[in-house]
Amino acid sequence: MDIFKKLKNFYWPYKRHFITSIIFLFLVTGITVVYPVILQLTIDEVVLKGQYNWIPYLAIGFVLIMIIKGIATYLHQYNGDLFGIKSVFSLRNELYEKLQFLSFKYYDNAKTGDLMSRLTADVEGFRFFLSFGFAELLRFILLVSVSFGVMFYYSPSLTLVTLATIPFLAVAVYRFDKNVHPAFRGVRKSFGRLNTRVQENISGINTVKSLSREDFEIGRFNNSNADYKDNYLHTASIWAKFFPLMEFLGNASIVLLFAYGGYLVVGGQMQLGELVAFYSLLGYIMWPIMNLGFTVNMFSQAKASGERLLEILEAPNDIQEVDHPIHVERIDGEVEFRNVTLKYTVDDQAALKDINFHAHPGKTIGLIGSTGSGKTSITQLITRFYEPVKGQVLVDGREVNQYTLKSLRHNIGFVLQEPFLFSSSIKANISYGRPEATMEEIIEAAKRAQAHEFISELPDGYDTILGERGLGLSGGQKQRISIARAICLNPSILILDDATSAVDMETEFEIQKALKEVMEGRTTFIIAHRISSLKHADEIIVLDDGEIVERGVHEDLVKNNGLYQRIYDIQYKDQEAVLQSQTG
């Protein structure tokens, strides 16, 4: 029950619905046990003794009991549903909120499909047990204990003989639970992997089709589907193994009942009506015990689901605010790195090694180097997406961890290398970081990003609803909307992570021209593979294998005979040769 104790805060606030449901469950159970008593009176007092004048009273009483039971059953089930639904509403909100604040390090290892499975299938599995499982366990306890009491009242000896198989049945149920819980955890995990496979395939369908890898993806899905099938079949085999055993033990009790009960009736030690009532009461004990496998099944699924949900709720967040962080409306934009070293995991090689630089407010810093050299890592430390293992990252003379995350990131406009657009209007995408922006400000941001013209040509203009991940727009159009989003934020620090990589040379020139005005008064970091994107920077930092190997302005670096010059030669030497041949 540790899983349920840890998740208590989500369902216990709604205990009123649970308690109400249980109160009516008591009433339903009590009425249920009355049926065999009415049956006993009908046989022994009416049929055998000929007191037929009792029939109208028994019939009216039975109808009234049925009506009361129907109302009580409705209130029991309705409040049980309310208890489960309201509980998982809070739980799902908490899970989603936790996912919003977990750091990039968590998502580096997480699978999207698996997380989706946890927020849907696992939450529903837990809800189902809250709505029905708890009540079923209590119903089992109540029905068995009350029925046992009435049976003992009729005949203590017959009760003991009939229930002789109960200890063996209890052992079978216990063994069933021990086997079925890990099996259901395997089912949940394999379902998460299956969900991940589907999500990745749909997200990357363009790549799949362009490389004609449909058959390969079908094969991978079949493997994941087969794994899910095998786990479910393993669970089914456990059920198939234990349920017949439990049914056999239940039927053995019925045999003992009629054998010994018939002997008592023939000997005059028990009335026929009592034996018939005893049989009904035995069903109220044996069938709940046999169906306990179903309840255990629900309980095992809920435990497996609860464990997977707790893995999210208890996941450590390595990006934490200090006790009294500073909230600032506006920062100047001074950025300094002092002996900064970064590792993404403990066992990894350092992504950055002893990085030192100082960017004054309003200056433009260019970052260039080969893939994996550490360019993006530098900017991710400024925004506190990751924490350095050594050294200090300062903004306006304070370490970044001294600021509230919200105020720090609200002052940084980040244009990611792979632009992401939401399935909403273009207007909503541009104003995403600043929802209060006016339409004039949104249009101005789009103009500066060279996006206004193509947006205006769309049928619905800024109200155009984009498809998933910006489907329907070209790569360059998506990137310009992403740039407009950063501009609309009006940040003190602007980070362009290869922001013009998806546009043609002409569009890049127009964007660069517009960005010159935008970068005025802002500290700007430009990550680029094209030297043309950053050669006008106030300082260019050249990185290789996580280290700064060169720094300076463009004119000096091309003369240093270093890595920067080699990159320059690769990008421009062929162009110069072509121009010389044309002019020659």
**Residues 351-370: pLDDT tens digits?**
999 999 999 999 999 999 88
Confidence check: pLDDT of 225 > 70: yes
The string of pLDDT tens digits covering residues 370-402 is 888 889 899 999 999 899 999 999 999 999 999
Q: Mean pLDDT: which of 86-90, 195-199, 503-507 is highest? A: 86-90
Question: What mean pLDDT comes out for the span 574-579?
Answer: 53
| 365 vs 170: which has the higher pLDDT | 365
More confident of the two residues 116 and 324: 324
Q: Which residues contact 553 (CB under 8 A, 6 or more apart)?
A: 537, 538, 539, 540
- Tokens 């970064």 locate to 342
pLDDT, mean of residues 283-305: 76
Q: Please, what's the largest Cα pairwise distance for the chain?
A: 128
| Three state DSSP letters for 322-366 | CCCCECCCCCCCCEEEEEEEECCCCCCCCCEEEEEEEECCCCEEE
Spatial contact of 482 and 416, defined as CB atoms under 8 Å apart: yes
Highest-pLDDT range among 207-211, 303-307, 579-583: 303-307
Please give the pLDDT value at position 197.
Answer: 81
CA 431 vs CA 414, 460, 487: distances in Å? 14, 17, 10
327-411+495-500+522-584 fold = Rossmann fold (3.40.50)
Q: Which token pair is 523?
A: 């500290």
Which CATH number among 3.40.50.300, 3.40.50.970, 3.30.70.380, 3.90.930.60 corresponds to the domain 418-490? 3.40.50.300
**Has residue 50 got a pLDDT over 80?**
no
- Is the pLDDT at 530 greater than 70? The verdict is yes
Q: Say yes or no to pLDDT of 582 above 60.
A: no
Residue 581: its pLDDT value, please?
52
Q: Do domains 327-411+495-500+522-584 and 418-490 have the same CATH topology?
A: yes
Average pLDDT over residues 217-234: 87
Q: Domain 2-313 is classified in which CATH homologous superfamily?
A: ABC transporter type 1, transmembrane domain (1.20.1560.10)
Please tell me which residue, 581 or 5, carries the higher pLDDT value. Answer: 5
**Looking at residue 266, what is its pLDDT?**
83
Q: Is the model's pLDDT at 98 over the cut of 60?
A: yes
- Nearest in space to 159 (alpha carbons), one of 28, 286, 35: 286
Q: How confident is the model at residue 119 (pLDDT cuts 50, 70, 90)?
A: confident
Give whichever of 257-266, 395-404, 422-431, 489-498 has the largest mean pLDDT. 395-404
Closest CA to 552 of 562, 565, 538, 563: 538
Helices (H) and strands (E) counted in the chain, each on its own, are 23, 10
User: What residue type is 355 in one-letter code?
Assistant: I
| pLDDT over threshold 60, residue 577 | no
Q: How far apart are CA 476 and CA 342, in angstroms?
A: 32
Whether the model pTM is above 0.85: no
Q: How far apart are CA 394 and CA 259, in angstroms?
A: 87
Judge whether residue 576 has pLDDT over 80: no
Q: Rounded mean pLDDT of 194-213?
A: 72
Question: Beta 390-395 vs 335-342: how paired, if at all?
Answer: antiparallel
Q: Which of 19-23, 169-173, 242-246 has the highest mean pLDDT?
A: 19-23
What's the token pair of residue 403? 């600021």
Q: Where are the domains positioned within the chain?
A: 2-313, 327-411+495-500+522-584, 418-490
Q: Is the pLDDT of residue 543 over 60?
A: yes
Question: Is residue 79's pLDDT more than 90?
Answer: yes
Higher per-residue pLDDT: 251 or 411: 411
Q: Given CA atoms 562, 565, 570, 571 in this order, what sign does their dihedral have?
A: positive
Q: What is the pLDDT of residues 470-487, one digit of tens each?
A: 667 877 788 888 888 888
In this structure, how many other beta carbons lie within 10 angstroms of the beta carbon of residue 320? 13
**pLDDT > 70? residue 207:** no
Q: In the chain, what percentage of residues exceed pLDDT 90?
A: 21
Percent of the chain with pLDDT over 70: 92
Lowest-pLDDT range of 71-80, 275-284, 335-344, 555-564? 275-284
Lowest mean pLDDT among 268-277, 366-375, 502-511: 502-511
Give the pLDDT confidence score for residue 355 in this predicted structure: 93
Q: Which of 461-465, 505-509, 562-566 has the lowest mean pLDDT?
A: 505-509
Q: What is the pLDDT of residues 10-35, one digit of tens each?
A: 888 998 999 999 999 989 888 888 87
Does 210 have pLDDT greater than 70?
no
pLDDT confidence of residue 365: 94
Q: CA-to-CA distance for 153 and 146, rounded, in angstroms?
A: 11
pLDDT tens digits, 409-434: 889 988 877 778 888 889 998 998 88
| Beta-strand pair 364-369/523-527 | parallel
Whole-angstrom Cα distance, residue 200 to residue 184? Answer: 24
pLDDT of residue 250: 73
